Amino acid sequence: MDHPALTMLSEDEAIFARTVRSFADATLRPLVSQMDREGKFLPEVIASLHEMGLLAIEIPEALGGAGASFFMSILAIEELARVDPSVAVVCDVQNTLVINAIRRWGNAEQQERFFRQLAGGTIGAYALSEAGAGSDAFALACRAEERGDHFVLHGRKLWITNGDEAGLFLVFANVNPEAGYRGITCFVVERGMAGFSIPRKEDKLGIRASSTCELLFDGVEVPRAQVLGDVGKGYKVAIETLNEGRIGIGAQMVGLARGALEGALGYVREREQFGRKIAEFQAVRHRLARCATELEAARLLVYNAARLHDAGQPFLREAAMAKWFASEVAERVASECLELWGGVGFTKECPAEKLLRDAKIGKIYEGTSFIQLDTIAKSLLGEGL
């Protein structure tokens, strides 16, 4: 099924989307089942993403990246998720969270250093969540003690995407707990720093190849030069970057739903019951029609939010709408399409089974559906966010 929204894209964007789609079909699709089964990425997958430039989309060309737009990142995430949402998550976190944060808040020296690393093969991770700081993102227990030209970090983080693969971590810790969220500061922590360890990787329902890890900071000394943004302004780095990241999750869910629908369309054209292709039954056709319509509506919400971002226009409410609706649609479409496969859809040999498992996280990470709805409501009522 060709991309139904290609008419919304410029010629360069359409070519880029087709290129990523071809890459995903040829390079990723043969490896999806193995990576899901083993719960880890094959090394060649990460290498191929770097080689394609998909992990440095918005990094300036002068620093080794593609110098492209945020919207291009959204297209890449969607096309990758159509084949494997786990791979799309790596692209998403790298581009919409880590690179975006450094691009917006990093000084010239930090951008020079860290962008070259990220464009040259390093994976980034975004370490905000903790055991007691999920939806209440600023209830951080992780502490940073100021000592002259460096800070000392103590604490732990949970559910950190890319933790197993990352070399750079954007870590949020509080330097002044008495000041509440105004003490939160963002630090760039590098793998290998003394006192930094990754003791545990989660065993998950879905997006299993994507690593989700616990991080432990036991007296990690971080130079002052690796503070991203101002001390005490990490809350702004966190919340504003997550607003962008939610558009990326929306794109991931759109791609997932596309993959589920394409698989079901192929199956119903071939499967026969009662002497007819099941695609000829009205009940099946109407389910497909509903799925396709909801998918297109989700895509339009995601694209609108991304275009507003690139135009420098306010997009907070639109990002929340895109993330909320696309995650709802992805789970619903994945479930509907699995049922169209019948009994085989409930087995591991069917790609629909994996996509349904992968869809569940869309309502949870980077702001639950409850948080998105609350954000939308506050915006509508003119309340502070």
Instruction: Determine contact, residues 74/57, Cβ cutoff 8 Å.
Output: no
* Distance in angstroms (rounded) separating the CA atoms of residues 182 and 175: 9
> Which pair of tokens denotes residue 120?
């040259």
> Which pair of tokens denotes residue 10?
């410029």
Q: Which of 372, 291, 377 is nearest to 324 (CA)?
A: 372
**Residue 82, Cα to own-chain centre: how many angstroms?**
13
- Enumerate the active-site residues: 366
Residue in the block written with tokens 């192929």: 266
Instruction: Determine contact, residues 333/294, Cβ cutoff 8 Å.
Output: yes
**Neighbouring-strand partners of residue 221:** 152
* Distance in angstroms (rounded) separating the CA atoms of residues 358 and 362: 8
Neighbours of 347 (CB within 10 A): 10
Helix H or strand E segment including 15:
helix 11-23
Instruction: Determine contact, residues 373/321, Cβ cutoff 8 Å.
Output: no
